[in-house]
């Protein structure tokens, strides 16, 4: 699997989210080297607290495959999942998770806690990267831009 290619797709989706006024987070789900789900953060655009990139991509993949079980899939996301998204990854039986950069405030792959090591009924394999630096820069640039607009800098 070309991990870099798929993480780059997630970065492009994240850039689209930013274009619509949302924090740039993007996600793709891949099965047998084919993209079966795409999502990007649409919380502000849709006014929906559940519209994070991973939940959007999981819903897309479920709709396309006609099943809630995404057993043999890899999920690529630019930012470490929050509890809701980590839970959605467990619920959908995603086999492998690859995330770009850490989220010190809400990350559930070890930053706040590791939800995947708890006593739930499914344990995906977790990897950080590829494109960690690009994922980190995209978010840092976005938040720097927000601070500049609000006159903090």
Which residues participate in the annotated binding site for Zn(2+)? 52, 82, 85
Residue from 118, 133, 141, 148 binding its own copies (CB under 8 A): 118
Q: Tell me the C-alpha distance between 43 and 32, whole Å.
A: 30
- Does 73 help bind its own copies (rule: CB under 8 A)? no
The active-site residue out of 54, 56, 134, 148 is 54
- Does 143 help bind its own copies (rule: CB under 8 A)? no
Strands 73-79 and 125-128: unpaired
C-alpha 50 chain-centroid distance: 13
| Strand ordering across the sheet containing 125-128 | 34-40, 26-31, 73-79, 96-101, 125-128
- DSSP helix/strand/coil, 9: helix
Residue with tokens 């006593």: 119
- Does 95 help bind its own copies (rule: CB under 8 A)? no
Binding track, positions 17-56, relative to its own copies; x by CB under 8 A: --------------------------xx-xxxxxxx--x-
Residues that bind its own copies (CB under 8 A): 43-44, 46-52, 55, 58-59, 62-63, 66-70, 82-88, 90-93, 105-106, 112-113, 115, 118-121
């Amino acid at each position: 699997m070309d991990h870099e290619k798929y993480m780059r797709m997630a970065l492009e989706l994240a850039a689209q989210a930013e274009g619509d006024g949302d924090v740039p987070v993007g996600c793709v789900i891949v099965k047998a080297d084919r993209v079966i789900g795409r999502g990007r953060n649409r919380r502000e655009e849709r006014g929906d607290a559940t519209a994070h990139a991973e939940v959007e991509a999981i819903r897309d993949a479920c709709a396309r495959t006609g099943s809630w079980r995404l057993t043999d899939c890899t999920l690529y996301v630019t930012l470490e999942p929050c509890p809701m998204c980590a839970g959605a990854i467990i619920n959908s039986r995603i086999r492998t998770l690859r995330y770009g950069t850490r989220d010190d405030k809400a990350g559930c792959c070890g930053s706040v806690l590791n939800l995947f090591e708890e006593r739930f009924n499914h344990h995906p394999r977790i990897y950080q990267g590829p494109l960690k630096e690009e994922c980190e820069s995209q978010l840092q640039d976005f938040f720097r831009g927000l601070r500049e607009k609000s006159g903090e800098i």
